[in-house]
Amino acid sequence: MKNWEAVKMDEDQLLQLKRLTCQSEGLHLEFKKRATHPEKIVREMIAFANTHGGTILIGVDDDGNISGLKYPEEEWMGVSTLLATCKPPIPYHLSLVAIPDHRFIIRLDVSESDRRPHLYIGSDGLAETYVRVRDMSIKASTEMEEIVRRQKKKKDIKFVYGEHEQQLMKYLADQKTITLPQFRELTGLNRFKASRKLILLVLADVLKIEATEKGDLYARA
């Protein structure tokens, strides 16, 4: 947005903003009071693009209170700089909503991407990617990253329903979820083979995967 100062209050935008802030943060919505840590906002954008899209409102407290930003262009500068390092570029629309008392809200509408997974390149040069789970953006595992990459163009996925798959289904009949380390212990497979089997079963819609801060959980689809 080139001319921040020219933005005027728009009743329709204000109404949309109030409707959004009446909701709680969730799968498609994130509030940020400030852009003090721009890397966190970029990670949220990546998570939305990698999952089902969503909206980020900068200038809104966690409880939905519309506090606003006095100098939105300064808040946006750090985010804009970091976005340039993301690969591939994140699909988003930026708009500025003017509110009373000469303050503003930065609204970011991020689309679900057909070029996912999007990667964040940190200052150390390492690439990371994120996915959205309920109201959190979680760093994706190697398995989740591959599933995100292959889901966008998956066709018929073929796999062998052998001894290890039978052991897995029997385990999940008693237990709701299993982790990759637990699957390895159950079957005796090395990490690579166990990982490949779980990925194929997710892509074939036999299993579903949920990212958590402590690692991925696999369950029957």
Q: Where are the domains of the chain?
A: 4-139, 142-220
Pick the CATH number of 142-220 from 3.40.640.10, 3.30.230.30, 3.90.25.10, 1.10.10.10: 1.10.10.10
Q: Which band of pLDDT confidence, cut at 50, 70 and 90, is reported for residue 5? A: low
Distance CA 177, CA 70 (A): 47
Provide the CB-side half-sphere exposure for 110 (13 A, CA).
Answer: 32
Would the pLDDT of 2 be above 60?
no
Question: Would you say residue 113 has pLDDT above 80?
Answer: yes
pLDDT higher than threshold 60 for residue 157: yes
Average pLDDT over residues 74-94: 95
As a whole number of angstroms, the distance between CA 53 and CA 109 comes to 8
Residue of 6 and 143 predicted with greater confidence: 143
Count Cα atoms within 13 angstroms, Cβ side, for 127.
Answer: 9
Mean per-residue pLDDT, 80-89? 94
Banded model confidence at residue 194, pLDDT cuts 50, 70, 90: very high
What CATH architecture applies to the domain 4-139? 2-Layer Sandwich (3.30)
Mean pLDDT of 123-146: 94
